Amino acid sequence: MKTFLKLFAIAAAFGMAPAAAPAVAPAPATANAASAASNATAIAAPAATAPTPGIGQPDGRMGLQDQFSPIGEEALWFHDIILMPLITVISLFVLALLGWVMFRYRRAAHPTPSRNTHNTTLEIVWTLVPVLILVVIAVPSIRLLAHQYDPPRADLTVKAIGNQWYWEYQYPDMGIELVSNMLPDAQADARGEPRQLAVDERLVVPVGAVVKLIVTSNDVIHAWGIPAFWTKIDAVPGRLNETWFRADRPGVYYGVCYELCGVRHGYMPVAVEVVTPAQFAQWVASKGGHMSGAAPAVAPPPATVAAAPTATGNIVAGTETPATTNQSATR
pLDDT at 307: 45
pLDDT at 317: 42
Total number of domains in the chain: 2
pLDDT at 149: 87
| Residue pLDDT, tens place only, 236-270 | 999 999 999 999 999 999 999 999 999 999 999 99
CA distance 215 to 227: 16
130 and 185 in a single domain? The answer is no
94 and 178 in a single domain? The answer is no
74 and 174 in a single domain? The answer is no
Helix (H, G, I), strand (E, B) or coil at 165: coil
pLDDT at 304: 52
Q: Which residue positions in the chain have pLDDT lower than 50?
A: 1, 4, 8, 11-41, 305-331
Q: Are 270 and 226 in contact (CB under 8 A)?
A: yes
pLDDT at 47: 83
pLDDT at 150: 87
Residue 235 CB-density burial (10 A; 0-12 exposed, 13-18 middle, 19+ buried): buried
- Cis amide bond preceding 165, omega within 30: yes
100 and 172 in a single domain? The answer is no
pTM: 0.70
| Residue pLDDT, tens place only, 102-148 | 998 888 888 888 777 888 898 999 999 999 999 999 999 999 999 98
Q: What is the extent of the structural domain holding 189? A: 156-286
Q: Does the residue 89 lie in any domain?
A: yes
CATH number for position 229: 2.60.40.420
144 and 163 in a single domain? The answer is no
Cα–Cα–Cα angle for 44, 194, 269, nearest 5°?
A: 80
